[in-house]
Amino acid sequence: MQTETISDIDFAHADRLGNRLLTELDRFRESAPVIWSDSAGAWIVTRHEDVVEALTGKYPLSNARYTPEAFSAISAEERPSRLPILTSSISHWAFNLDAPDHTRLRKLLTRAFAKPVVRAVQPFAQATMERVLDAAPVGQPVEFVDTIARAITGRVILHLFGLGEPLLERFQSWSQALNLALGVFNPPAEALDAAETALREMKEVLTPEIEVRRKRPTEDFLSQLVIAHEDGDQLSHEEVMGICYVALLAGHDTTMNSMALGVDILARNPDQIDYLLAHPDDIVNSVMEITRLSAMSTGQGRLVTEDFEWHGARLKKGDFAMLMFAAANRDPRRFTNPTMLDLSRDSSEVVTFAPGIHHCIGHLLAKMQLSEFFVRFFSRFDVELLDDELAFIAAYSFRGLDEMNVKLKARSRLA
């Protein structure tokens, strides 16, 4: 155990910290690479090299960190009746598995998340963005998160699933409920209950859709899951449902939040908007730099599977370690002037999408939407930010905004 003591971060109230969470993580990183947090009940890992090594499997850390015990706000006796879907299904979720189960699922999922699927969705995403941006009010206040970001990403994920637009509001509420239950430390009972309700409603909607595609598969995402096979192996119904739950959270809320936080950070750096529009061939690199600094993806937890020492800290079997992507992405050991937005910098070492064996399987879909959106949005508009402070949601793992008020004006600068 390290002897140095520093003041803790109030992880339980990440919404109150807002962007101060990032400077607090910077403080942790520059104090010691691995620090125990009473607030989190976990070891906080902040330096780029350590986060990357952990993600690539160097240390005895398990991805299976969501167990029924993680939902301790509800007693063990109550969980089976109160959280039956959450407690039984989470063992089938890809982001909560280790090899060989995780390896098997990734092989089966490759086709469903492959480039042809993303290319097939791209024209719809482009048309949806044009429709939403055409309708955006100019010269008057507009709430960006719901009016623009959710309106785009919700429709895209519904189209990916092969489902109709009438489900848009329900999909959005489900996504929010899952993020607020799974993206916080020690989620409260009411958040767990809301997540269980969301999972039950999703199951009721998606089960008949999956059965239709088993009989008559099409080209949509659900069909690709149903027909996915590898050496005679196929996904079970519970595995298909688990992937749908994860795809909703990781494919909708995270992209929406990246849009909102990206607009905020670009609006504060107008010279970088000029660079973005002048270098369309570098758009994916620019998107990764935007995600690096806007820090939607704050971190992921891991379960320690055996005792080991890490930079003088003694981690015990059963402890939790939080790999803080936001801190790693601002590590001056890896990035020059890390608190500055620089779209020209090489973004190949940005860890937003978790390099290594658990690399985000939906990263191509996210990059496509963000690349299309930022170019289209800033080609049309200059943005005036109207909020004194951003209104963050309580989730820390995937940061997002409750709302963001802006005023849009016709773009005055030439790209």
284 in a structural domain: yes
**DSSP string covering 291-357:** HHHH-SB--EEEEE-S-EEETTEEE-TT-EEEE-HHHHTT-TTTSSSTTS--TTS--TT--TT--ST
Segments forming the whole domain that contains residue 348: 11-410
2 in a structural domain: no
pLDDT in tens, 313-336: 999 999 999 999 999 999 999 999
Lowest mean pLDDT among 111-115, 315-319, 395-399, 401-405: 111-115
> What's the pTM value of the predicted model, to 2 decimals?
0.91
Sheet holding 300-304, edge to edge: 34-37, 42-45, 320-323, 300-304, 61-62
6 in a structural domain: no
**Residue 70 one-letter amino acid:** A
Enumerate residues 6+ apart whose C-beta is below 8 A from 299.
322, 323, 324, 325, 326, 327, 396, 397
Higher pLDDT, 318 or 99: 318
CA distance 121 to 127: 10
Which class for 263: exposed (0-12), middle (13-18), buried (19 or more C-beta within 10 A)? buried
Number of H helices, E strands in the chain: 18, 14
Cis preceding linkage at 137, omega within 30? no
Is 2 in a helix, a strand, or coil?
coil
Find the length of the chain: 415
CA distance 247 to 160: 10
Structure tokens at 233: 């192996």
Q: Is 219 within 8 Å of 213 (Cβ atoms)?
A: no
pLDDT in tens, 79-92: 999 999 988 888 77
Residue 67 DSSP one-character state: -
Per-residue pLDDT band at 244 (split at 50, 70, 90): confident
82 in a structural domain: yes
The whole-number average pLDDT for the span 115-140 is 94
CA distance 302 to 321: 5
112 in a structural domain: yes
CA distance 273 to 389: 22
CA distance 352 to 189: 29
Query: How many Cβ atoms sit within 10 Å of the Cβ of residue 306?
Result: 12
Find the largest Cα–Cα distance for the chain.
63
Among 408, 414, 359, which residue's Cα sits nearest to residue 382? 408
3 in a structural domain: no
Strand partners, 313: 310
The whole-number average pLDDT for the span 273-293 is 97
142 in a structural domain: yes
Assess whether pLDDT exceeds 50 at residue 3. no
Assess whether pLDDT exceeds 90 at residue 6. no
Residue 66 DSSP one-character state: -
Is 398 in a helix, a strand, or coil?
strand
Structural domains in the chain (count):
1
CA distance 295 to 292: 6
304 in a structural domain: yes
Strand partners, 303: 62, 320
Give the CATH number, domain containing residue 267.
Answer: 1.10.630.10
pLDDT value, residue 66: 79
CA distance 137 to 144: 11
CA distance 56 to 180: 27
Q: Is 145 within 8 Å of 256 (Cβ atoms)?
A: yes
State what percent of residues in the chain have pLDDT above 70.
96
pLDDT value, residue 34: 97
pLDDT value, residue 4: 53
Q: Is 161 within 8 Å of 222 (Cβ atoms)?
A: yes
Mean pLDDT of the chain: 90
Torsion of CA 216, 221, 222, 228, to 10 degrees: 80
Helices 270-278 and 363-380 sit at what angle, rounded to 10 degrees? 110
